[in-house]
Chain A
Amino acid sequence: TQLLEQSPQFLSIQEGENLTVYCNSSSVFSSLQWYRQEPGEGPVLLVTVVTGGEVKKLKRLTFQFGDARKDSSLHITAAQPGDTGLYLCAGPPITTSGTYKYIFGTGTRLKVLA
């Protein structure tokens, strides 16, 4: 069974603090996507990382794809209350069948206190 484990599951921090969310698997992924999901809504894409070792920055958010393409991280600098939400990693594991279906991570629920 292919799994994407995210840690931590829950994170409550003060405004201005930095944080890192991890997404790990024993499987190799073709790419990894990070989404943010609000309650009752669909996942909204933040970033796609494709190349092993790739780093992408989106304002205060920094995303990294592991060299072996089995893991990824999301780092938020100087968190703000508007960053509060559920963060999901997801992607298509590389398989012999050439599937494109996404495996989703277990999610990290972030709360940033003012």
Chain B
Amino acid sequence: EPEVTQTPSHQVTQMGQEVILRCVPISNHLYFYWYRQILGQKVEFLVSFYNNEISEKSEIFDDQFSVERPDGSNFTLKIRSTKLEDSAMYFCAGQGVGQETQYFGPGTRLLVL
């Protein structure tokens, strides 16, 4: 059964550094999402992406964040200058056209020191 994959599984970085989180969605999905989950808190929406552009973003998704799908397969989340409060699990999700269900990847645990 096809799965969403994410790399790296863990990333430790210094405050102020740039990080890129990568996701390979299920091949026939066209809607893509990033969510994050701070330790002990609920999963929260960051951004949705369709047809090579952002369709919606939350107030968390400020100018330090960007997303792109450069090659039609990978879907990336970039944080330009990480802050301590960016430490969280980041989940990628994908959704097929006309489908209700989003399928989640295993997540990247980001720790900003």
Q: Could you list which residues of chain A lie within 8 angstroms of chain B, going by C-beta atoms?
A: 30-31, 33, 35, 40-45, 48, 50, 88, 90-92, 97, 99-107
Contact = CB atoms under 8 A, between A and B. Distances in A.
Interface in B4-41: 4, 6, 31, 33, 35
Contacts of B105: 42
Interface of B: 4, 6, 31, 33, 35, 42-45, 48, 55-56, 58, 89, 91, 93, 95, 100-107, 109
Contact of B56 (A48, A101, A104): A101
Given A30-B100, A41-B107, A42-B105, A100 B43 contact: no
The binding surface of chain B is classed by DSSP as: strand
Given A43-B43, A88-B43, A97-B56, A102 B107 contact: no
The binding surface of chain A is classed by DSSP as: loop
Nearest to A101: B45
A43 B109 CA distance: 14
A99 B90 CA distance: 20
A99 B95 CA distance: 13
Contacts of B55: 100
B91 A43 contact: yes
A103 B102 CA distance: 12
A100 B107 CA distance: 20
A76 to B, nearest CB: 21
B103 A45 contact: yes
16 contacts: A35-B104, A40-B107, A40-B109, A41-B106, A42-B4, A42-B91, A42-B106, A43-B43, A43-B104, A48-B101, A90-B43, A92-B100, A100-B48, A102-B43, A104-B35, A107-B42
